[in-house]
Amino acid sequence: MSRNTQAIISLDNIRSNFLLANQWAPQSKNMAVIKADAYGHGLLAVAEALQSLVPAFAVAIFDEAVALRNGGITKNILILQGVNCATELTYASENDCWITLHNKQQIDLLLATKLKQPLKVWLKLDTGMHRLGLDQKQFDKSLQLIKQCRWIADDFVVSSHFSCASELANGESKKQFNKFNEMITEAKLPSNIELSLSNSPAIAHLPESNLNWNRPGIMLYGLPLFDGPHSSDQQLKAAMSFESEVVAIREVETGEYVGYSNKWQATRPSKIATVSVGYADGYPRQAKNGTPVLVKGERASLAGVVSMDLIGVDVTDLSNVSIGDPVELWGEHLSANEVASYANTIGYDLISGVSRRVPRVYK
């Protein structure tokens, strides 16, 4: 290895976090959401680690489902954005993939594509997020059409998605929950139809929304789920430690600058450690001066603009910092959410954005 910049992934922690979903929602079936390369943790590695525990997986797009099948994953796979052509429909029906239907065009395509094997579908309702989903009129009409189609499995699922479940003081989730129930009641669904609402924060905080199927995603990777303190924070375990090392150290006099565009100026004689990581690795370029970094387990702060391959860290108040010392950018001891707050983004963005040039090391 030419440098010690790597993402260390704890598969045990991912398994532990999934089992928490089962503990928090014991009456539900919890599928593992592993879209976007398992939020940057490695699609196949995470699927292989969870396959014996989960009833199904969920991905965002068709290509992710194909990658899982090509990698030997055999559990059912829900494609959250559905499919967009007859070829993809045929593949889904022949490879135990479930598809979301969230608009009229997808439903029309499915009705027009004769399939040899029954296909399980998830009808998605728009209960207030206004991103994807059917309104009441579209839902009622879709149910009539689906009942008449012989290649659609009878045991379909009806779902929706919360927009504000991570915001503890926001009442929008309860409004969406009530809207979902109203739409279901008006549609007069058959008794064998299953329902799905909860994402990770809803599993932890809104037990009434834990229905037949839940969709834990971010909680599998151990990030805090809410915009304030919550009991779940102490139970989830960070799955990714993004780490590097000090590759240079220099003394900087008062008034001197560090990094591009002179964005950081020393207000005292300072010691700057250069770390081998940058925005090409997925460290956020917009991170501000003062963003926390752990050097040898001690807090230090970002000094200067993040460059493509390197960052500067003010280690003036740390003792005995040397070239080769370990650096944690986020992980077990420094939450990605905290780092993200200095970069005007969210922890999801950081962990899913670690680039492919950073090796994933599994333990």
Active centre residues (catalytic): 35, 260
Which residue from 270, 318, 266 is spatially nearest to 292, judged by alpha carbons?
318
* 198, containing H or E segment: none
Residue 293, classified by CB atoms within 10 Å of its CB into exposed (0-12), middle (13-18) or buried (19+), is buried
- Give buried/exposed letters for 122-137 (b at 16+ CB in 10 A, else e): bbbbbbbeeebbbeee
- Asked if residue 134 lies in contact with residue 105, where contact means CB atoms within 8 angstroms, the answer is no
Nearest of 56, 93, 92 to residue 73 by alpha carbon: 56
Phi and psi angles of residue 243, each rounded to the nearest 5 degrees, phi first: -130, 155
Read out DSSP for 74-129?
Answer: -SEEEETT---SHHHHHHHHHTTEEEEE-SHHHHHHHHHS--SS-B-EEEEB-SS-
Rounded to whole angstroms, the Cα distance separating 258 from 205 reads 44
CA atoms of 162 and 301, how far apart (whole Å): 35
Contact between residue 8 and residue 190 where contact means Cβ atoms under 8 Å apart? no
Pairing state between β 240-252 and 326-330: antiparallel
**Cα 145 from Cα 275, distance rounded (Å):** 59
Cβ atoms of 291 and 336 closer than 8 Å: no
Q: How far is Cα 363 from Cα 360, in angstroms, rounded to an integer? A: 10
Residue 270 corresponds to which tokens in the numbers above?
């300072």
What letter does residue 34 receive in the DSSP assignment?
Answer: -
